[in-house]
Amino acid sequence: MNIPRKLKLLAFGACLAAAALPASAEEYPKFDYMPGKELAIPHVSGDAKFSNTYQYWKDEKALEDAKKSGKMSHEMNYKDFRWAVKSFDAEGAIDIGRGYYNEKNAKGQSCASCHGAEGKKLKGIYANYPAYNKRLKRVVTVPTQIKACATERLGFDWKENTRQNTLIDFFVGSLSDGKVVKIDATSPGPIKASYERGRDLFFKRGGHFNFACASCHTPPAAGKYLRGQRPTTFFGDAAQYPIYHFPYSLPGDDFEYVFTLQHQIKSCQILSRIYPGEEGSPAMTDIEVFLKASANGYKMSVPVAEYNMDTSYLD
User: Largest Cα–Cα distance of the chain, in whole Å?
Assistant: 89
| DSSP-derived pairing of the beta strands 243-244 and 258-259 | antiparallel
Beta strand spans in 170-259 (E) = 243-244, 258-259
CA distance 78 to 56: 10
What pLDDT, on a 0 to 100 scale, did the predictor assign at position 20? 44
Structural domain 37-63+77-85+180-314, CATH architecture: Orthogonal Bundle (1.10)
Do the domains 91-174 and 37-63+77-85+180-314 match in fold?
Answer: yes
Q: Cα–Cα distances in Å, from 94 out to 85, 109, 172, 231?
A: 16, 21, 9, 26
**pLDDT per residue rounded down to tens, the chain (315 residues):** 555 555 444 554 545 444 444 444 454 455 699 999 999 999 999 999 999 899 999 998 999 999 999 999 889 999 887 777 788 899 999 999 999 999 999 999 999 999 999 999 999 999 999 999 999 999 999 999 999 999 999 999 999 999 999 999 999 999 999 999 999 999 999 999 999 999 999 999 999 999 999 999 999 998 888 777 788 999 999 999 999 988 889 999 999 999 999 999 999 999 899 999 999 999 999 999 999 999 999 999 999 987 655 555 445
| Domain segments of the chain as ranges | 37-63+77-85+180-314, 91-174
**What is the 8-class DSSP label of residue 211?**
B
243 near 259, Cβ under 8 Å? Answer: yes
What is the per-residue pLDDT for 235? 96
Question: 79: buried, middle or exposed (CB in 10 Å: 19+, 13-18, 0-12)?
Answer: buried
Fold for the domain defined by 91-174: Cytochrome Bc1 Complex; Chain D, domain 2 (1.10.760)
H/E run at residue 139: strand 138-140
Q: Which residues of 188-224 are buried (b: 16+ CB within 10 A; e: fewer)?
A: eebbbebbbbbbebbbbbbbeeebbbbbbbbeeebbe
Q: E strand or H helix at 138, and its extent?
A: strand 138-140
